């Protein structure tokens, strides 16, 4: 029985290990100054923020490959007896992307070091995928109508977004003319598709902007590893803890006192609905053990009283101003740990509770809340 449960656990873990969804890949080749390939070179790729690292050795043809890398900034080191140690920093690994780095070693002592500070931009010439990337800095710096990270997808070409103005609205997109249901949403490599919202599409669990490190949008010619959609792929990853403590706090407030009556309220001679919206939360991340274990967490609260006008032209005496109430808690926690030079593991927990109260029928007109 114990063996049965162990095999079942292995199979469940294997089901979620889809290629490079939620991770990155690093490949390259090592040569000397004459252009001859160098096998047996020790390659180390170290995350400059967390200190987590991976090691490998170049093969007979001088090539090396590292998969399952967490997205972020890396420093590459290469060592071989009889050659100077090579070092290059600020190599950006992006989610779902294979980055190529070619290394050239110079003859000399290992104690001598060659630091590369400027080279031609790293371009992935092996991929045929069409798409783009949005990183954390853009998510934080650019304004958002509803603080949903999927609203930024419209910044990329080939996309027609349908953005909800409500903080709890579901955003959806059309990619290359296909329907909103032909878009596959993933978060940290796991499916995050909304299967219960009819034809609106969008993601299932809302993720706060402050908790997203970056996301990738693929619009065409993506590999079969993704599947489930013919329109586009939205591949997002959460932030991770680093060696430095970091955190953030945010708060947003809207009130009907700052809005005017809409046309339906005016014509019905109704009282303006008391619309309020509060959105606040924060993040915290840091080290548990330097260069070995880190954590990151975020919490977000959304309280929304959205005014609606019940407008019945045939029976105006029933016209009234009501509100729909939404109270949302959103939690995210992540832990990453280095086992050895070739293995790291991590766990991420995401939960959203979103009870909604006093929901109106479908034949009412929502009063403007902005």
- For residue 16, the model assigns a pLDDT of 42
Q: How far apart are CA 85 and CA 83, in angstroms?
A: 6
What tokens does 197 get?
Answer: 């919202």
Q: Class assignment of domain 130-238?
A: mainly beta
What is the structure's pLDDT at 14?
42
Q: What is the pLDDT of residue 356?
A: 62
CA 46 to chain CA centroid, Å, is 21
Q: Establish whether domains 21-116 and 130-238 are of one fold.
A: no
Cβ neighbours for 368, distance < 8 A, ≥ 6 positions apart? 259, 260, 262
Domain-by-domain residue ranges, the chain?
Answer: 21-116, 130-238, 246-366
What are the mean pLDDT values of the chain's consecutive 10-residue runs (370 residues total)?
49 44 89 93 96 95 93 94 92 90 87 65 60 84 82 80 59 76 84 66 78 87 70 88 94 83 74 80 96 96 74 57 73 95 90 69 41
Q: Which alpha helices (DSSP H) does the chain contain, by range? A: 2-16, 136-141, 263-267
Task: Report the C-alpha gap between 272 and 292 in whole angstroms.
Answer: 56
pTM higher than 0.75, yes or no? yes
Contacting residues for 201 by C-beta, under 8 A, at least 6 apart: 170, 172, 173, 179, 180, 181, 183, 194
Per-residue confidence (pLDDT) for residue 124, from 0 to 100: 60
- Rounded to whole angstroms, the Cα distance separating 238 from 58 reads 31
Q: What pairs with residue 365 in β-bridges?
A: 309
Instruction: Please determine, looking at this structure, whether the domain spanning 21-116 carries the CATH number 1.10.240.10.
Output: no
């Amino acid at each position: 029985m114990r063996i049965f449960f162990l095999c079942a656990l292995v199979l469940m873990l294997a089901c979620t290990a889809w290629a490079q969804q939620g991770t990155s890949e690093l490949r390259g080749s090592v040569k000397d100054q004459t252009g001859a390939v160098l096998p047996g070179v020790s390659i180390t790729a170290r995350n400059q923020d967390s200190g987590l690292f991976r090691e490998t050795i170049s093969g007979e043809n001088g090539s090396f490959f590292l998969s399952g890398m967490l997205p972020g900034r890396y420093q590459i080191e290469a060592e071989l007896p009889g050659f100077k140690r090579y070092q290059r920093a600020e190599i950006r690994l992006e989610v779902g992307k294979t980055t190529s780095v070619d290394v050239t070693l110079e003859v000399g002592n290992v104690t001598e070091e060659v630091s590369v500070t400027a080279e031609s931009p790293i371009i992935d010439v092996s991929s045929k995928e069409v798409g783009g990337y949005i990183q954390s800095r853009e998510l934080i710096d650019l304004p958002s109508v509803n603080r949903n990270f999927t609203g930024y997808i419209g910044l990329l070409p080939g996309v027609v977004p349908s953005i909800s103005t409500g903080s709890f609205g579901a955003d959806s997109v059309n990619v290359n003319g296909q329907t909103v249901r032909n878009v596959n949403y993933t978060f940290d490599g796991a499916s995050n598709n909304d299967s219960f919202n009819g034809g609106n599409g969008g993601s299932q669990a809302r993720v706060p902007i402050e908790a997203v490190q970056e996301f990738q949008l693929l619009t065409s010619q993506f590999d079969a590893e993704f599947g489930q959609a013919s329109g586009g792929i939205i591949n997002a990853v959460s932030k991770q803890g680093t060696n430095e403590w970091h955190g953030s706090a945010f708060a947003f407030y809207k009130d009907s006192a700052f809005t005017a009556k809409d046309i339906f309220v005016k014509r019905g001679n109704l009282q303006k609905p008391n619309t309020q919206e509060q959105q606040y939360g924060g993040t915290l991340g840091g080290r548990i053990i330097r260069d070995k274990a880190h954590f990151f967490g975020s919490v977000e609260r959304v309280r929304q009283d959205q005014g609606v006008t019940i407008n019945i032209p045939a029976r105006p005496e029933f016209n009234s101003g009501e509100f729909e109430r939404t109270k949302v808690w959103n939690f995210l926690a992540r832990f990453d740990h280095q086992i050895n030079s070739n293995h790291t593991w991590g766990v991420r927990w995401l939960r959203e509770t979103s009870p909604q109260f006093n929901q109106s029928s479908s034949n009412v007109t929502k009063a403007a809340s902005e």
